[in-house]
C-alpha cells in the first residue's frame, strides 16, 4: 500500500453539512498526528514570526519568513498574506523551521500595486479562492516537474482574478483579490456561521452545486480547526458565484475523489522548509502534500477540471 493510500485508509467520512449550495463533509482520523508545530496565525499572535519582502527592491515570487520561535510554523497552501509591496498567496504548504529564515514561494494576487503599504505582512481570514487555488496548484506542479521550482503561472493567476472580479462585479483599484472578499464579507460569513464544523475532524471535502470538487486533510484536528474558516471562506466565494449557475457538470463523487487520490502516483521534491512536497495527479484529480518525518501534515486535491478556463459549476 502506498503512503497516500495508507493516509486515506486512516480516515472515515462524516455527515455532510450544507449551507445553500456549499456542502462540507468532515473527515475523521483513526491515527495520531505528526510532529509539534504551530500555525502562522498563532506565530503572528505570539510575535514569534514575521513575513517580509526579501529586500527593499522585493521579488514578486518570493518572500522571507523569519521564525524566532521554539517550534516550526505551518503555512497553508493558498494562505493569503496582506501588505508590504503587494498581497501574495502561498504556492504550497510549508513547515518553516524554528529559529530560522525560510524563503517561501508565493504568487501575486494584487497586480496593480508595487509600493510598501507596510514593512511586514499580515495574514488574512481567508485563503485564495478555491478555483484560483486549484489552477495555481496545477501550474506549480507543472513548474516543479519541468524546472524544479515552485513557481505558479503568474499571468494565469492574474487572469483568473480578473475573471472572478468581472463575474462577481467587484471593482478593485489595484486588482486585489482581497477587495472581492471584503465586498462579499456578509454573505461569506453566512456560509461560515452556518457550517458548525466539528472540532475533532482532521479534514473536509467540499462540494459546490452538488459536485465534489476538492478535499483538504491535515495531520491533526487542531490544525484543521484553526484553518477550516479560511478554507470555508475560500469555497464560499466560489459558491456565491455559482449560486445562479446550473447544477455542476464537473467534479467527481467523494468516494471516487478519495479513491483516485489514494491511487495517484506522486513525485517528490525538496520542500522550501522542512520535509518534502509530494505532487500527484491522474486524469481526474490533481493534488499536493507536505510530508515530514514520515507524516503527511497536509494534503490538498481537486477535481482536475476545476480551475480550468472551461470550468462549469
Average pLDDT over residues 202-229: 95
Confidence of residue 90 (pLDDT cuts 50, 70, 90): very high
Query: Helix axis angle, 154-167 relative to 130-147, nearest 10°?
Result: 170
H-run or E-run covering 302: strand 295-303
Instruction: Specify the pLDDT at position 312.
Output: 46
Residue 9 has pLDDT above 90, yes or no: no
Domain positions in the chain: 3-303
Average pLDDT over residues 272-283: 93
Average pLDDT over residues 15-25: 96
Q: Which of 305, 187, 194 is nearest to 252 (CA)?
A: 305
Distance CA 168, CA 132 (A): 14
Confidence of residue 246 (pLDDT cuts 50, 70, 90): low
Residue 223 has pLDDT above 50, yes or no: yes
Distance CA 130, CA 114 (A): 25
Residue 244 has pLDDT above 90, yes or no: no
Residue 219 has pLDDT above 60, yes or no: yes
Instruction: Specify the pLDDT at position 157.
Output: 97
Confidence of residue 1 (pLDDT cuts 50, 70, 90): very low
For 291, the 3-state DSSP assignment is strand
Confidence of residue 313 (pLDDT cuts 50, 70, 90): very low
Burial class (CB in 10 A: 0-12, 13-18, 19+), 15: exposed
H-run or E-run covering 194: helix 185-194
Residue 238 has pLDDT above 70, yes or no: yes
DSSP 243: T
Cell numbers given for 236? 464560499
CA 34 to chain centre: 20
Instruction: Specify the pLDDT at position 297.
Output: 95
Confidence of residue 310 (pLDDT cuts 50, 70, 90): very low
Average pLDDT of the chain is 91
Which has more confidence, 189 or 249? 189
Q: Is there a contact between 312 and 250 (Cβ–Cβ < 8 Å)?
A: yes
What DSSP string runs through 218-242? ESSHHHHHHHHHHHHHHHHHHHHHH
Percent of the chain with pLDDT over 70: 92
pLDDT digits (tens, 9 = 90+) for 169-190: 998 999 999 999 999 999 999 9
**Terminal CA-CA length for the chain:** 34
Confidence of residue 88 (pLDDT cuts 50, 70, 90): very high
Q: Is there a contact between 262 and 5 (Cβ–Cβ < 8 Å)?
A: yes
Residue 230 has pLDDT above 60, yes or no: yes
Q: Is there a contact between 27 and 205 (Cβ–Cβ < 8 Å)?
A: yes
Amino acid at each position: 500500500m502506498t503512503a497516500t493510500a495508507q493516509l486515506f485508509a486512516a480516515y472515515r467520512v462524516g455527515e455532510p453539512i450544507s449551507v445553500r449550495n456549499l456542502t462540507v463533509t468532515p473527515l475523521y482520523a483513526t491515527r495520531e498526528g505528526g510532529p509539534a508545530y504551530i500555525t502562522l496565525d498563532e506565530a503572528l499572535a505570539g510575535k514569534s514570526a514575521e513575513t517580509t519582502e526579501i529586500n527593499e527592491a522585493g521579488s514578486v515570487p518570493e518572500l522571507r519568513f523569519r521564525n524566532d520561535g521554539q517550534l516550526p510554523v505551518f503555512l497553508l497552501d493558498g494562505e493569503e498574506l496582506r501588505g508590504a509591496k503587494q498581497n501574495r498567496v502561498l504556492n504550497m504548504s510549508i513547515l518553516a523551521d524554528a529559529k530560522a529564515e525560510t524563503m517561501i514561494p508565493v504568487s501575486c494576487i494584487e497586480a496593480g500595486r508595487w509600493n510598501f503599504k507596510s514593512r511586514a505582512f499580515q495574514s488574512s481570514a481567508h485563503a485564495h479562492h478555491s478555483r484560483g487555488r486549484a489552477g495555481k496548484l496545477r501550474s506549480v506542479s507543472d513548474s516543479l516537474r519541468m524546472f524544479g521550482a515552485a513557481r505558479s503561472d503568474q499571468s494565469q493567476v492574474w487572469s483568473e482574478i480578473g475573471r472572478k472580479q468581472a463575474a462577481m462585479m467587484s471593482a478593485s483599484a489595484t486588482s486585489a483579490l482581497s477587495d472581492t472578499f471584503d465586498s462579499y464579507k456578509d454573505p461569506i460569513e453566512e456560509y461560515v456561521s452556518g457550517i458548525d464544523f466539528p472540532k475533532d475532524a482532521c479534514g473536509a471535502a467540499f462540494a459546490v452545486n452538488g459536485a465534489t470538487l476538492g478535499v483538504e486533510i491535515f495531520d491533526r484536528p487542531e490544525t484543521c480547526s484553526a484553518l477550516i474558516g479560511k478554507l470555508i471562506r475560500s469555497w464560499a466565494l466560489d459558491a456565491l458565484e455559482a449560486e445562479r449557475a446550473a447544477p455542476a457538470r464537473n467534479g467527481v463523487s467523494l468516494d471516487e475523489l478519495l479513491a483516485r487520490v489514494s491511487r495517484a502516483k506522486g513525485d517528490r521534491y525538496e520542500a522550501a522548509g522542512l520535509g518534502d512536497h509530494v505532487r500527484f495527479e491522474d486524469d481526474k484529480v490533481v493534488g499536493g502534500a507536505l510530508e515530514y518525518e514520515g507524516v503527511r501534515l497536509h494534503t490538498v486535491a481537486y477535481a482536475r477540471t476545476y480551475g480550468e478556463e472551461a470550468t462549469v459549476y
